[in-house]
Structure 1
Amino acid sequence: MAPATVRRDPGTVKPRIRPSPAPPARVRCATKRAAVRIAYVFDHRLPSTGADTEQLVHMVAALGEAGADVELVLPRIPGRQVPSPDDLAAYYGVPPSFRVRALPGPFPTVRALEKPGFAAVGALARAVRTADLVYTRNLPTAVAVRLAGGPPVLFETYRPWPDQYPASRWLFRGLLRARGSFRMVLHSHYAMERFLRAGLPADRMLVAHNGWDPRKFEPRLSKHEARTRLGLPMDRPLVVYTGRITPKKGLLGVLDMARRLPHVTFLLVGSEGEGSVEREARSMPNVRVEGWTDLASLPPYLYAADVLLIPPTAAPLSKVGNTVLPIKTFPYMASGRAIFGPRSPDLAEILRHGDNAFLVEPDDWDAATAGLRSLLEDPETAERLGRRARADAEGGTWQARAQRVLDFAAPMIRTA
């Protein structure tokens, strides 16, 4: 077999999506006077390959599909064109069921100052102050809107803030003290438990796991069809990982597993450059590294797999702290392929060993290699796990999540 192939230019990947359906009629509030107006304020540049932006844009689009009047408020970056709804829809593979507004920030080129500066600008902007609800993933924005006496705020986060930043518990207690003006959406029960231990009220927090988009998974492909489309070998077991290609995700351990399983092809999808993982993989004949691909083109890689891999390490959760219940878990489940990953407290909320996934103790790479080998040698079990994961994914769409969030926010939404 030829050495590992690395494709490194994500900019050459053109989104391939089906025509988006027309946005549905706006859902009216109880008084029948207007759709709920949501200003979703986000202080990062779009579009981007970051998982946080994937999550945000899918939610913005789903909220719009659910009938809300959503305006995505972004920083205006000098020398960079403001993305239109159609631009973002094409990049992320979502319907353009929202509007986009860009606001100039006072420090657009200094990231340490840009976030608080944009938070202040956003809190005072008319588009934000006249909304019925401000939705944001950015804590400086949430604080600034409340200090400015703006609309109620729905703050979304994956982070267990009280554990990572203990002083933050006092900030959140202050924000939640005003019963009708601040609520939180959390990505996991793991995160919510940390807030509860810090003394925050359960009735103003919602756990809403992330979702998946059924439109991206049609038509459903057999392994043979997917591998034919992607030019992948038919006669070798295939393990697929999608996401950031970085040692922080445990991928050096995965490469060690690949060395011990030379008869298995490992496909890593999501490279954006020439990092240590790419350099090490280059000399490994059974590892193939693909560049970042647009989200609408990702499902064939999932369908092609015998096993979908979440690296069996606790580092992203316990050491790095930037990943809690990784977003890839949900499309993995939707694909109907067997999932292999760590027995970690966040994944345990939705994955169960022997039922809808094959889980091993984190960071025991010997046991992980043996477990993966046994799963690949038992296609009947792999097929059963994949079927159950697919069944469990039903109802866990972005659209269903958006409706849950709107229902949760309804008591504090102010309408004209």
Structure 2
Amino acid sequence: MRVDILSKEYPPNVYGGAGVHVAELVLALRARGDVDARVRAFGEPQQEHGTTGYRELPQLAEANAALQTMGVDLTMAADCIGADVVHSHTWYANFAGHVASLLGGMPHVVSAHSLEPMRPWKAEQLGGGYALSSFIERTAYESAAAVIAVSAGMRTDVLKSYPQIEPDKVHVVHNGIDSEQWARAEDPEVLHRHGVDPDRPSVAFVGRITRQKGLPYLLRAARELPPEVQLVLCAGAPDTPEIKAEVEGLIEQLRQSRDGVVWIAEMLPRAEVIALLSAATVFACPSVYEPLGIVNLEAMACELAVVATATGGIPEVVVDGETGWLVPIDQMQDGSGVPVDPDVFVSDLATALREAVSDPDRARRFGLAGRRRAVEHFSWGTIGDRTMAVYESVLS
């Protein structure tokens, strides 16, 4: 079976969870031996066998970013002829999958990593392009032979956002984790280089500076952390100048009232992220929108307890009272996911963080339990098999 995997992100151009998912899924499918998995991704031509990179069209260099994306998708779709299945990831590649399916007659499978109706703040980032990205996603989802949701929570969101989709077309296949690559590994040199004190407890955050990740809420909650606790932020790639300015202002305010606030704005190699996670007391995931949250699996695989928002697919990963703490949130139902009462959410988040850092032994037990859960329930071999079953279902 030939399956063409279509994605904006693919190594070395990975900046989010969808890119991690695609990279690991391709490895799992190719390891089976019965799948010709061909990758078509945005960016420069690739040296990897079976992988093709697609540059943006020079004719659209000055156009809206969403139009540039559609241009790449069209060139990508033209090369999919001959595939048995096309499988697209995120709206960036959905248009390629949809057009390829129309052109070549093969079934189109969509993986739901996020949903445009659940991220209305992207209008800030894309302007009129948000209407285009929303059109692309809606058209692709409603026409797809199957939709793969990365969590049961995401499946609910898909059917809520696109009620015309038949429920039996939406399958749940969780994201996964490579527990051999993501494992506890201490490295004092990395801590020293980034200004982290290995002898102090710390709360770690890893994520892009975007509305959905909820970093401003964490920065407000951190005001209530005990003074000896460090806050280590691996946070970069801001979506907009506005969210960047807000985060910068909150970090500056926090530094005026306490020390131990470490902000690392550049994207770090995996080994350095692992070293920072391995040195932390607890991982914080204050997201207001998270279809599953690979970042929580990565922290758990590094034996780190997690404090996370009880939203989206997070409760399917983090078990409250076993691998971490789930923070309740009453969210607006306008698609934004923002807390109805932000002060209450910040207070509950602060309470959970204080409880986590107050008992390092319990946090350590939760971290070990998290590692076991990541290994036992989220292996890529299993996820590859379940994805293959979806391909077979649309061909039968």
Please confirm whether the aligned pair reaches a TM-score higher than 0.5, indicating the same fold: yes
Which residue matches 1:305?
280
State the SS of the aligned residue for 2:391: helix
TM-score (structure 1 length as normaliser): 0.73
> How far apart are residue 306 of structure 1 and its match?
0.6
> How far apart are residue 294 of structure 1 and its match?
2.0
Which residue matches 1:381?
362
Aligned-partner residue type, residue 281 of structure 1: I
Q: Distance in 2 between matches of 1:61 and 1:246?
A: 29
For the 8 Å contact 1:103–1:121, the answer to whether it is kept is no
Which residue matches 2:216?
252
Alignment of 1:13-412 (within 5 A): 36-43=1-8, 47-67=13-33, 68-75=35-42, 81-85=44-48, 98-102=50-54, 105=57, 107-109=59-61, 110=63, 111-125=65-79, 128-137=80-89, 138-160=93-115, 171=139, 175-176=143-144, 182-196=145-159, 198=163, 200-218=165-183, 220-221=184-185, 225-227=186-188, 229-231=190-192, 232-246=196-210, 249-261=213-225, 262-272=227-237, 275-276=244-245, 277-278=247-248, 280-282=250-252, 283-284=255-256, 285-290=259-264, 291-311=266-286, 314=288, 317=289, 323-362=290-329, 363=342, 364-395=345-376, 396-412=378-394
For the 8 Å contact 2:291–2:312, the answer to whether it is kept is no
Q: Once the two structures are superposed, what CA deviation does each residue of 1:392-412 show, in whole Å capped at 9, x if it has no partner? A: 112412333122101221233
Q: Distance in 1 between matches of 2:214 and 2:114?
A: 19
Aligned-partner residue type, residue 380 of structure 1: D
State the SS of the aligned residue for 1:344: coil
For the 8 Å contact 1:258–1:286, the answer to whether it is kept is no
For the 8 Å contact 2:178–2:379, the answer to whether it is kept is yes
Q: Once the two structures are superposed, what CA deviation does each residue of 1:129-185 show, in whole Å capped at 9, x if it has no partner? A: 111221112321232122224322221112356777998998468525xxxxx2111
> How far apart are residue 333 of structure 1 and its match?
1.9
> How far apart are residue 372 of structure 1 and its match?
1.4
Deviates more, 1:252-261 or 1:232-241: 252-261
State the SS of the aligned residue for 1:121: helix
Identity of aligned residues (%): 23
Q: Distance in 2 between matches of 1:402 and 1:355?
A: 27
> How far apart are residue 353 of structure 1 and its match?
1.7
How has the CA–CA distance of structure 1 residues 129 and 337 changed in structure 2, closer, same or farther, with 3 Å as cutoff?
Answer: same
For the 8 Å contact 1:239–1:305, the answer to whether it is kept is yes
For the 8 Å contact 1:60–1:98, the answer to whether it is kept is no
Q: Once the two structures are superposed, what CA deviation does each residue of 1:21-57 show, in whole Å capped at 9, x if it has no partner? A: xxxxxxxxxxxxxxx2221123468614233323322
Aligned-partner residue type, residue 64 of structure 1: R
For the 8 Å contact 1:161–1:194, the answer to whether it is kept is no
Question: More helix per residue: 1 or 2?
Answer: 2
- Residue segments in structure 1 that go unaligned for 5+ positions in a row: 1-35, 86-96, 177-181, 318-322
Work out the number of aligned pairs and report it.
345
Q: Once the two structures are superposed, what CA deviation does each residue of 1:208-261 show, in whole Å capped at 9, x if it has no partner? A: 12111123135x43xxx4446522323321111111135653222222233322
For the 8 Å contact 1:333–1:390, the answer to whether it is kept is yes
For the 8 Å contact 2:95–2:136, the answer to whether it is kept is no
For the 8 Å contact 1:187–1:208, the answer to whether it is kept is yes
For the 8 Å contact 1:73–1:101, the answer to whether it is kept is yes
Q: Distance in 1 between matches of 2:382 and 2:271?
A: 19
CA RMSD of aligned residues (A): 3.1
TM-score (structure 2 length as normaliser): 0.76
Aligned-partner residue type, residue 400 of structure 1: T
State the SS of the aligned residue for 1:217: coil
State the SS of the aligned residue for 1:216: coil
